[in-house]
Amino acid sequence: MNGNPTPLVTHAAPPDSPIGAAGAVDVAGLSCRYGDFTAVDGVSLGVAPGELFALLGTNGAGKTTTIETLQGLLRPASGRVSVLGRDPWRHRRALAGEVAVIGQKTGFADDLTAAETVKLWNDLHAGRTAVGALLEKVELDHRAAVRVGALSGGERRRLDLAMAISTVPKVLFADEPTTGLDPRSRRRTWATLRELTESGTAVLLTTHYLDEAAELADRVAIMHGGRIVRSGTVDDIVAAHDALITARLPAELGLDSLPGMAGTLAVDGGELRVRTTDLQGDLYRLLDWAERFAVELRGLKAAPATLDEIFAELEDVQENR
């Protein structure tokens, strides 16, 4: 979306004073509006130095508006926002040397080559890594002389990454940084993000890829309709949702034949489905029963919930409210 949210509530801090916060990024009760539309509604989150925090959500969930507010591009309608202890709306210039951004859209000049683009960036910012080393880091050294307008979408994303890591920023906002990348480049970007967090950089990542969040994130938050509807570590979120046990039962067996279990049982056309928060216990009870009564459980499968399943379940719940 374009344009600034309507500023309905101003910050209480004096104009030239930092907000002051324990984390690299701290957000409390953030709301952003475009006219009468609320894009972000009461979001609170924090990112510590050396942590990768992933924001998940479908298009329109409010992820990009949150990121743009943290960059200082948008003024909140209400709430408190701190990046490295400062309000990014008031102190965007002061934060520029310590905060890096990979946005959804590049702003490169099509007529410049990849090398000229990085050199221009380096000339504008002190202490940057040499052009050749940066392009090699993102596997674009062989495309150094190619004009930006001739680069593929994935190559432009890698050029974005090169400029974001031209120093070791204290905070990196990465808005869907692997969109359009091939699998090899995607894995390389993951490795680069890990290197940054290991060096102490706080990374706030937005992504549509649930496997990416599961692979990289120390903590995640799932956004829907401008609100955070789940947050925590991936393991915590998965553990709070039902695991699933499935198997094919002999045709003559029904629910009344099955053992008592902690989860919810259903049998449909001979297909047993057990939804449970006690995966190990219910699996043991089912297998013990099957052994005692010589019941063959064909195609037996048992697995915890996945982020994909949780994401889909939360979307269904929110849409049906």
- Condensed to tens digits (0 to 9), the pLDDT of residues 99-137 reads 999 987 767 888 999 999 988 888 877 667 889 998 998
Across the range 1-12, mean pLDDT stands at 37
- CATH number of the domain where residue 126 is located: 3.40.50.300
229 and 286 in a single domain? The answer is: no
86 and 169 in a single domain? The answer is: yes
Q: Is residue 192 part of a domain?
A: yes
Q: Which residue has the higher pLDDT, 82 or 7?
A: 82
Could you report the per-residue pLDDT of 22-63, keeping only the tens digit for each? Answer: 589 999 999 999 999 999 999 999 999 999 999 998 788 899
Q: For residue 20, what pLDDT is reported?
A: 38
88 and 184 in a single domain? The answer is: yes
Q: Is residue 319 part of a domain?
A: no
CA distance linking residue 65 with residue 72, whole number of Å: 11
Q: Which domain holds residue 273?
A: 242-304
Could you report the per-residue pLDDT of 248-277, keeping only the tens digit for each? Answer: 999 888 888 899 998 899 998 889 999 998
Cα-to-chain-centroid distance, residue 140: 25
Domain boundary among 211, 238, 265: 238
Q: For residue 210, what pLDDT is reported?
A: 84
**Total domains in the fold of the chain:** 2
234 and 269 in a single domain? The answer is: no
CA distance linking residue 206 with residue 198, whole number of Å: 19
Cα-to-chain-centroid distance, residue 239: 19
Contact assessment for residue 158 and residue 192, using Cβ atoms and an 8 Å cutoff? no
pTM, rounded to two decimals = 0.78
